[in-house]
Amino acid sequence: MKKWVSMLLTVFVAASLLAGCGSKTQGNASTGDGGAFSGKPVELTFWGDWAGEGQKQFETMVDAFNKSQDKIRVKYVLQQDMITKFMTTATSGGAAPDLVFWDRWRTSLYAPKNVFHPIDEFMEEDNINKDDFYTEALKELSYDGKLYGLPLTVDARALFYNKKILDDAGVAPPTNWDELEQAAIKTTKWNGDKLEVAGFSLADVGLFNMYLQQAGGQMMDETGTKTNFNNEKGLAVLEYWNRLLKEDKVYKIGFEQGLGEGTDAFVTGKLAMQYTGPWMLSTYKKYGKDLDFGVVTPPVGPNGDKGSVMGGLGLVIPEGSKHQREAWEFMKWWAANKDNALLWAKTSLNIPGYKPAIEDPFFQEDPLWKPFLETLEFAKIRAQHPGYSVMEDDGLIPNLQLFQQNKLSAQDALAKSQQRGDQLLQDNAIVE
């Protein structure tokens, strides 16, 4: 008897969800706290770490979803130190959230801990086409053949340039390393020992991966277990940096910081060119006539190789969520619907992970979006080894900084990075 009652309840709940959200699935619905069976909406908790303007953007999407149907209610909960709190609930049996705003590159580190719920069955049941998303973004949300979420944003670095500075110097936006070097030389201004205008920023050594791709190399070897930058490709990157810094003198380490807190070198005309992402478009547009800037795809390397690193954010469903089907309905509504993905794009001024939304005139008729959309077609995600981020942060970047500070030669910086990096990859190969 109990078995039949349970089956009837399951069917009733599933039918309610079908009516409210258009789901094709008839199982796995949960009522929780009275839920849909009692006539009350299922309440979902959505964790994120965006505060301020970002929180308002999330709440815009949550409010729109809540108004679109009456079976599910989502509440955004701002979390400081979100990863630690999430892992605490996952390992201690605490009250897990139903959705988490997720920096995708962390997936390969945390998915092996079995803290996420795969969405492959949901995708298949609701006929969600993977081809509608950036392949690299889906790959970054996958581990061991399972997909754990959908991308909300995609981004990649492109080259921003100050139109007035380049025009005054008589140079065009660069398309390759040689042109970039020459443009940087011609736009740099020194007053004695004081750098007044830097031709090109070399502040972020974390972009080594991008330069390595442009040099025709890759960060990891074919086995995906060891580094692959202590070679002629990696040396080509550091020799290029060395020439820009020490021979051409188009930049000085610490230049931006030396301008004072809160001073943006690009906005104030102290920097001619820099690599940054689409998240800066809205900021720079605010300055209007005071900053006339353009964007181009990253200049190619010596042999014409393209390179940029794709990053971005997504939504994942914790394994500990009691409302996984309802959480999927919200994820699908937001990330796999053209109108809603476009609403998110216009609200947050981010490039959505859902490709059909990018066909809208909002993106196609604004020339500043075009270079990023072109870059995203060849940009690659970081390696999916669980220890990759540790290798890059603790094994590579410190040695690259020492190289820029003239404390290590290019050869020694790469050799030390390889030795330390390979050890870190080995130490973090197995996630516990």
User: Considering only 29-43, 199-213, 307-321, which range has the smallest mean pLDDT?
Assistant: 29-43
pLDDT of residue 399: 98
Tokens for 388, please give them.
């990759």
Rg, Å, the chain Cα set: 24
pLDDT number for residue 256: 86
What is the pLDDT, as a whole number, of residue 39?
A: 76
Q: Answer yes or no: is pLDDT of 184 > 50.
A: yes
What DSSP string describes 238-293? HHHHHIIIIIS----TTTTGGG-TT--TTTTTSBSEEEE-GGGHHHHHTTGGG--E
Instruction: Kindly state the average pLDDT of the residues 10-21.
Output: 38
Q: What percent of the chain has pLDDT over 90?
A: 83
**Structure tokens of 330?**
């919200």
Confidence of residue 432 (pLDDT cuts 50, 70, 90): low
The fraction of the chain above a pLDDT of 70, given in percent, is: 90
- Decide the pairing of beta strands 189-191 and 99-103: unpaired
How far apart are the C-alpha atoms of 289 and 268, rounded to whole Å? Answer: 12
Q: Which long-range contacts (CB under 8 A, 24 or more apart) does 79-84 make?
A: 79/47, 79/48, 79/49, 80/49, 82/47, 82/48, 82/49
**Does 322 score more than 80 pLDDT?**
yes
Residue 294, pLDDT > 60, answer yes
Mean pLDDT of all residues in 71-84: 95
Band (pLDDT 50/70/90 cuts) for residue 17 is very low
Average of per-residue pLDDT across 166-192? 98
Q: Is the per-residue pLDDT at 304 higher than 50? A: yes
CB 285, CB 110: distance < 8 Å: no
Domains delineated in the chain: 2-155+312-376 (3.40.190.10), 158-309+385-427 (3.40.190.10)
User: Above 70 in pLDDT, residue 302?
Assistant: yes
**Main-chain dihedrals φ then ψ at residue 278, nearest 5 degrees:** -65, -15
In this model, does residue 31 exceed pLDDT 60?
Answer: no
**Residue 38: what pLDDT?**
54
Please give the average per-residue pLDDT across 306-335, as a whole number: 97
pLDDT digits over 373-419, tens only? 999 999 999 999 999 999 999 999 999 999 999 999 999 999 999 99
- Length in residues, the chain: 432
Give me the chain's average pLDDT, please: 90
When pLDDT is cut at 50, 70 and 90, the band that residue 3 belongs to is very low
3-class SS of residue 376: helix
Residue 430's pLDDT is 81
Mean pLDDT lowest among 5-14, 163-172, 321-330, 370-379: 5-14
For residue 304, count CB atoms less than 10 angstroms from its CB and return exposed for 0-12, middle for 13-18, buried for 19 or more. Answer: exposed
* Contact between residue 72 and residue 41 where contact means Cβ atoms under 8 Å apart: yes
| Of residues 109 and 39, more confidently modeled | 109
Region 97-109: mean pLDDT is 94
**Can you tell me the mean pLDDT for 308-326?**
97
pLDDT value for 6:
40
pLDDT at res. 263: 79
List, in sequence order, every beta strand (DSSP E) within 94-242: 99-103, 142-143, 146-147, 149-151, 153-154, 158-162, 189-191, 194-197
